[in-house]
Every structure is written in structure tokens, then in C-alpha cells.
Amino acid sequence: MAEQEAACAPHSGLSPAPAKAAGRVRGVSRWSRAWRKFKRNKLAMAGATVAIFLTIVAIFAPWIAPYPYSESHWDHAWEPPSWKFPFGTDELGRDMLSRQIWALRNALIIALMAEVVTFVVGSAIGATAGYFGGKIDNFLMRFTDIMFAFPSLLFNIVLVAALGRGLLVIFIAIGVTRWTGLARLVRGQVLALKQMEYVLAARASGATGWDIILRYLLPNAAGPIIVTLALGIPANMMVESALSLIGMGVAPPMPSWGALIATYQNAVLSYPHLLLFPAATFAITLLSFTYLGDGLSEALDPKD
Amino acid sequence: MEELLRVTNLKTHFFRPDGVVRAVDGISYTLNKGESLAIMGESGCGKSVGVMSLIQLVRKPGRIVEGQALFEGRDLLKMGKEEIRQIRGHCIAMIFQDPMTSLNPTLTIGKQITEPMLWHNYAGRQEARERAIKLLAAVGIPSPWQRFTEYPFQFSGGMKQRVMIAMALACEPRLIIADEPTTALDVTVQAQIIDLLRRMKEETGTSVLMITHDLGVAADFCDKVMVMYAGRVAEQAPMDEFVERPCHPYSRGLMNSTLDLGRLKGRLDPIPGAPPSLLNPPAGCRFHPRCSEAMAVCSEKEPELVEVGPGRKVACWTAEKEGCKN
């Protein structure tokens, strides 16, 4: 800055700051309002409780699972549920409870990391397109259209087939096919928000483009973004299971719900626990995350 | 008095598919340090675009096509992106019309006041915080240390406009542009805000450019007035002289369509017709189709802005011929 002190006359007449009160009261943010609304929604709270429980189980899987996921108990093969093996055992005598805990862990890691990829790619492309507009917008959105039109499961299969069946490859593969929806959403939000008076006001007080994107546009679009991301978690789990179902998911002996369900669908009459337990735990996981997402979308809805 | 801002022949046009809209078409004025200038005129006459051009915040497809705006000797219109960004909020601050929509709903009031100071390296985090609380107190917000952490939705309209004023004052700007600062407020609050603005102006010695179509507010607050019509300057005058005897027929029209409670008139005299399309303005004087005193020359040649007295300029053929009447 050139003439910092020259012409900006110092303020002399401003009244002195009043003495600070003893206690400082914090403002009620929209987050605490949303939380209050969320708490009233019983289904969402149930979903959130189960989802948190499942997440803790997934994080501590190595300590919680009673047996290693690939340990065989040869004298206990094909056993129905018992005290020793609460969900029974499979054809190799492996504990099905432990395998499902590990399946949960894999599904959650993949779903969450794929959402991280979705968030980074989707919001970066959407925000850039919406903010700059014009040719950049046109180019990025046509690219998004192409990615959207691509059959995503096929794309996942190709990627996994080419790069291997590691966790990293799978979540990146899912992430790069699922960001298009978020990119469109963020672009729409940014287009609407950048017309807001407060964005102009920020610009008029010297905000840079980054200040505006990071402090004004994205936070104001946070509600819909969070909802989309939350509802994306169960969707990603479905994709992961679909990949496992056709044998393109995590490599065995690492368990996956899709693989468990696919393997034992023929054994449903003779050994029903091998299909029913994975199907039930999978369904509960999906439902809990879906209700959590629905609850969030209701709590963060600005039209209340 | 020292000159702060000299705008010469500013032209901002909007290049639309259906033609060029000459929203601001060659306006010139000066503003001295500590002075306040009211820019008046009907909606769409180019007031806002004219001042937004000064800090290069004209929305596409608008573009500044010509002119000069010397601010302390430097041309604002020729500045690069980074240079003008450092001017905005630091040397020239703005107060917007609608306080309800001019604050970011996701940031606390405190953050919104301190951030411009951080953007401009005006103060460190702690200093900025202290100054923000001081400013909140100065603009009349009770228990500022508490309000500092609150969000805009917890403030009323008048309180938000006070916050906007605090924000504008944060970096001690030399010029404050107030774009209809009281239009969105109710009348009792309007008076408080004008009082506050006046106090702040006196305490800090900043100059003010106030866009308004409220003659009462303008006459109360400003030293000088500039009346715009269809993107051009119709009249410039010291405020007291202007209120005494407006010179341009359009200015008189504005006066006659204002309520005057002291002199209970039977009815208001609105100016007939509507402002012209700036896509295709009328030939000659742009006001002549609505002017009760129009002569033959008015529809042929555009009048120049001529000096009719000290600090008084009028663009009207009647004034050019016979000086300022009535």
C-alpha cells in the first residue's frame, strides 16, 4: 500500500471501548439451530446413533472382531450361530461376525474416502465453473456432462481391472464417477450466491477471489453440499458391494458385503445364516446412513 | 480545501446483445476532503453504476469505456486488479442499500468487521478485534463484546445498517460511498442512521458520496448535490443554493414531487412520463420529451454543462440563455 498513513486521518473521536462484561455469550450459529431441529427428528437420531456405533466398530475392528477375518477353524466349518461364533462360520470355519465387521470397515473406508474425492473434485469444478462463468464454465460443465453420461459401473470395472483391487483404487474409482452431481449442485449454488449483495459488499471491502469463494460462497452452499455428501455414503456402499458382487471389489480374503452375499446366495436353504446375517447387517448400515442423511437435509433446509 | 476525487468524463456502457446501453455517459465532478456530495436522480439514471465504476465493480456486460477518476492523484480506472482491490475497503469503503442482504449470514458480525482489516494488513488479529468492538460501540450497538460473536440474523435492520457503517469505517477510509443507505429502513431508523453517519463523518473527517433519491436526506446531510438524468449530469450545485432555487427543470420537477410538510400543498406534482431508454436516448437534451419548458433547440442539440454561478453548473438551454431563473 502506497499512502497508508498520509491521507487516512487517524480516528481520534471514537469513543473508547466499553469495559468487557464478565461472561461472554456466544452467538447461536445456524449449526446449533440445525442441531436442535435434528434432535427432534427421531428417525434421524436413531440413524445417527446406529451410524456412529457402526463407525466406532469399523474404526476399532482389529480389536473388536473376536477373530482375525481370515483365521480358519477347520473343526467348526459351516456352523450355525453359537456362543462361540455369534453369526456362525463359513465353509473354511472363519467367524462370520469378524468377517462382517471387517466388511463394514472396508465399506465405510471406501464410502467415506470416495466422498472425500467427490467433495474435492465436485466442489472444485462446480465452484470454478460457477464463479468464473463464461468459457471456463462451458468447458467444465461439458466435461461434467461427458463424465455423467459415462456408464459409471463400467468405468469402475475398467479402472479396477486396470489398476488392481486395492482399497485405494476402488475408492478413487467410485469417487471419480460420482462427483458430477455435486459439481452441478455447487455450480448452481455459486451462480445464485454470487449475485448476493453480501458478495458484492465483500468485494467492495477488498476481498480477493479466494476470500470470496472460501468464506462467502462455499459456507453458504454448505447445507446442500453436506446433505449430498451424507446421502452419497450409502450410495457408495452400494456401488462397492455391486463391484464385489461381480468379483471386482476388494480382493479376497479381505471380506466385503457384496462378496459375502454373492458367495452364499446359493446356500440360502442349507445354511441361511451365511446369507441372512450379511444381508441384514448391510441393510441396517445402509438404512442408518440414509436416515442420517435425510435428517441432515431436513435440519439444514433453509426454508423453515 | 484539498481535492480528494476528480472524476472527468466517466462513461460506463453495457454491451448487450440488443445494443449498447449508455448507463453513464460522460459525467464529471469533484469532491474535496471532508465534503459530502449527494448524487440524485430517478432509478436507472446511472447513479449506482457511476459510483461502482470508481472501484471497478461494474457487472458484465458493463465496461468503463472512457474517463478518468483521480483519487489523490492516482487514476482509479487505470488501476490493475490487485491495486484496486487494495483501494476497496481501505481507501474507499461502501455502505449498501439493503442491510438485510449485505451481510454474510454464515459469518459472525465480529469476523465481518475484522476481516477487511486483515485483508488490508491494516491491523493484526488482536488489534482488529479490539478496534471492531470499539467501532461497534461507536455506532451505537449495545454490549458490543457480546454482539461481536453473534450472527447477522440476530440483528434488526437498523442494527445491521449500523454494523455496515462500522464495517465501512474499519480501515479508516478517506471516502465512503453510501448507496441509498437509508432506503430500506423505516423513517425513525432513517433519522438515527443519518445522525450516526454525520457524527462519524465529523469524527473521522472522511468524505462521503451519497446516492439517494430522498431529497430530505440529501439536503440534511450533504454539502453539494449532483442531479443526474439518463446517464448525464443535469445540475451541480451547493446544497443550500439548490434547495433555494433549483435551476434545471428536472431538478425543479424533483423538488415539486417531494412532500413539503411545512408548506402544505394540495397535491404533489409528479414529472410526467418515464425516464428514457438508455439504449436509444432521445436526441438533443435527454429530458426534453418530459420538460414543460422545452424549446425548439432542446430537441436538436444537447446542452453543455455550463457554469452559472460559483460551484453551480447546469446543462439546460433555458439556463444558458437567461441564467438561472426563479
Helical (H) or strand (E) element with A147: helix A134-149
Which residue out of B92, B106, B177 would a mutagenesis test of the A interface target, given it has the greatest number of A Cβ atoms within 10 Å?
B106
CB contact under 8 A, B101 and A21: no
Residues in chain A whose beta carbon is closer than 8 A to a beta carbon of chain B? 1-3, 7-18, 20-21, 24-30, 196-198, 200-208, 211, 215-216, 219-220, 222
- Chain A residues whose beta carbon lies within 8 Å of the beta carbon of residue B154: 27-28
**In this predicted model, what pLDDT tens digit does every residue of B160-183 receive, in sequence order?**
999 999 999 899 899 999 998 888
Whether B143 and A22 have beta carbons less than 8 Å apart is answered as no
pLDDT band for B262, please (50, 70, 90 cuts): low
pLDDT at A21: 47
What was the pLDDT predicted at A27? Answer: 47
Q: What is the pLDDT of residue B323?
A: 67
Write out pLDDT tens, residues B125-156.
999 999 999 999 988 899 999 999 888 888 98
User: What's residue B326's pLDDT?
Assistant: 52
Residue B210 has pLDDT above 90, yes or no: yes
The stretches in chain A having pLDDT less than 70 are: 1-29, 302-304
Interchain contact B158–A (C-beta under 8 A): no
Q: CA A137, CA A109: separation in Å to the nearest integer?
A: 32
Contact B96 A201 (CB under 8 A): yes
pLDDT of residue B261: 59
- B284-318 residue pLDDT tens: 888 988 888 888 888 888 888 888 888 889 998 88
CA distance B201 to chain A (A): 10
Rounded-to-integer distance, Cα B215 and Cα B259, Å = 10
Nearest CA in chain A to B142: A18
Buried-exposed string B244-283: b where 16+ CB fall within 10 A, e elsewhere: eebbbbbbbbbeeeeeeeeeeeeeeeebeeebbebeebbe
Judge whether B130 is closer than 8 Å to chain A, CB to CB: yes
* Radius of gyration of chain A measured on its C-alpha atoms: 25
Of B189 and B118, the structure prediction assigns the larger pLDDT to B118
Q: What is the 3-state secondary structure (H, E, C) of A168-207?
A: HHHHHHHHHHHHHHHHHHHHHHHHHHCCCHHHHHHHHCCC
Count of residues making up chain A:
304
Residue A199: its pLDDT value, please? Answer: 93
Per-chain mean pLDDT for chain B: 88
Which amino acid, residue A85? Answer: F
Pairwise CB contact (< 8 Å): B146 & A24: yes
**Which residue in the set B86, B135, B204 is minimally distant from A1, CB to CB?**
B86
Residue among B101, B145, B168 whose CB faces A196 most closely? B101
Is a pLDDT exceeding 70 seen at residue B59?
yes
pLDDT for A8 equals: 41
What pLDDT is stored for residue B245 in this prediction? 85
In the A/B pair of chains, how many CB contacts fall below 8 A?
142
> What does the pLDDT average to over B214-224?
89
Q: What is the pLDDT of residue A303?
A: 59
Question: From the CA of B187, how many Å to the nearest CA of chain A?
Answer: 23
The question of ipTM being above 0.90 is answered as: no
Nearest to A293 by CA among A232, A231, A233: A231
Residues 189-228 of B with CB under 8 A from A: 202-206
Q: Most A CBs within 10 Å: which of B70, B81, B104, as the mutation test of the A interface? A: B104
Average pLDDT over residues B43-50: 88
- Note the pLDDT of residue B87: 92
Q: Give the mean pLDDT of B90-104.
A: 90
Statement: residue B230 has pLDDT above 60: yes
Q: What mean pLDDT do residues B245-271 have?
A: 77
In order of their start, the domains of chain A are 53-63+94-299 (1.10.3720.10)
Q: What is the pLDDT of residue B263?
A: 62
Determine the pLDDT at residue B276.
Answer: 84
- CB of B101 within 8 Å of a chain A CB? The answer is yes
